[in-house]
Structures are given as C-alpha cells and as structure tokens.
A = this chain, B = another copy of it.
Amino acid sequence: MRNIKMTIEYDGKRYQGWQRLGDSDKTIQGKIENILKQMTEETIEIIGSGRTDAGAHARGQVANFKTESTLGLAEMVEFLNRYLPRDIVVKELKEVAERFHARYNSNGKKYSYYVRTATIPSAFDYHYSYHYPQTLDLEKMNQACQKLIGTHDFLGFSSLKKTKKSSTRTIKELSVQREGDNLHFTFVGDGFLYNMVRIIMGTLLEIGDGTRKLSSIDEVFEKKIRQDAGITVPAQGLFLDEVYYN
C-alpha cells in the first residue's frame, strides 16, 4: 500500500469548507476524493492536516491518502489537475512512509489573514479579504500581538466547549504588515483551536479601532470566556499557507 502526501491550493469561495459532509460535492475533500476514485477505481479517504472553514482558502493545505495504484506521481498530478475544478490545484505529490498521518504528524501551521481598511471596497478582493473601513492603531495592535505570542490556554479565543483535551497552544509568530490600505496578518503556531485565528483577528481589530482595551487579552486568558474576546471575523480573509512536519 502506497502512502501519498499531497499539497493543495484552493480558492474556498465556492465551497462549504475542507471536510466532506456526507456525499456533498461542495467540499474540497469531497471534490478531491471523487477525482481520486476516478483515477484509481478505489474508494479513497484523504486525511487532511485539519479542516478549513467554508469560504476560507489554502495555499498549502496538506493531506495524505493510501492507494494500491501503480501510477507515477507526475501522472497523478496531471490527472488530478485536469479533472479537478480550476479553483482546486494539487501542487505536489510525494511518496511518504506508511505511518505518515497528515493530521497527527503536523507540528505547526502558518496562516495569513487579510484586512482592507480603505473606505472604498475593492472590486477584486471581496472574497479574499475582510473589508473593515476603520482607522486602526498599528502600534496598539502590535502590542496586542506581543501579548498573544507564546504558550497560553487559548480556550477563550476559540469556539470550543471546555473538554478534558488541552487547549494550550503556542503562537510562535504573530505579526501585521501594512501594504497600502491593506493589512496582512501572519500567524505561526504549533496548532490552532477551532476559530482561534478568526477570534484573535476580531480581538486585534477591536483593539486597533479603540473599542477594546489591550488588557482584555489578559482577562480572556484568565477567565477563558469566549464572549469576552472579539468577534469571529469572516472566513474569506483567511488563508492556510503552510503545514509543518518534522
């Protein structure tokens, strides 16, 4: 049995997210599994590094699948990209050890989130960035980023219910760069809880526009109450850039 690691890029705007929902054809996972079935005549389940939300994008999602097909990797890439919709692209396939598991073996991820602050919207970016036409205090947002970096219990910055599972994660990098009227946020960490990037983003924007105090971050860390954090910003500005493995 071969185990194949795939790196995938997708524009999520037309999809209900990564994870297959029953027989739904509107998920990235479902689309890829359908084409793999055509290609191999096997029923293949692909294991993603994690879900992405409806409308969110990926430049480097990783998944793996097992197959008995003897096709070459280059042939597979060509077949997949020929029959997949144009907004899902297999960037690379790689033969990996049988024990490789795209979710369990991942030890980190990198995300981008884009915000447009200009009053006038863009004709091009509305599926790829969050239009937040406010004057934002970058200095304050940078201070907030410094507070969030490090190892913390991020339960209050997630949509998870409290369970016995650990909600402690380490954010290694969290930074914001201005590119004209657009802000590009970069998140690197060992793992992210459900909605964690989007809730941290909402919190950062509220700190940036002055409607929230910097110290509220400490309170969310202490009390772990999701309602004390900022809004969940829309998925459209979110890109999964890279998944890390040892």
Contact = CB atoms under 8 A, between A and B. Distances in A.
Interface of A: 9-11, 57, 77, 81, 86-91, 120-124, 126, 128
Contact of A89 (B86, B89, B122): B122
Contacts of A120: 77, 81, 89-91
A73 to B, nearest CB: 13
Contacts of A57: 124
A122 B86 CA distance: 8
A53 B124 CA distance: 17
Q: Give me the 8 closest cross-chain CB pairs, A-B, nearest first.
A: A89-B123, A9-B123, A11-B123, A87-B123, A86-B126, A10-B123, A11-B124, A91-B120
A91 B126 CA distance: 15
Q: Which of A57, A89, A121, A124 has the most CB of B within 10 A?
A: A124
Contacts of A86: 121, 123, 126
Contacts of A126: 86-87
Nearest to A9: B123
A148 B87 CA distance: 36
B122 A9 contact: yes
Contacts of A128: 124
Contacts of A9: 122-124
Contacts of A87: 123-124, 126
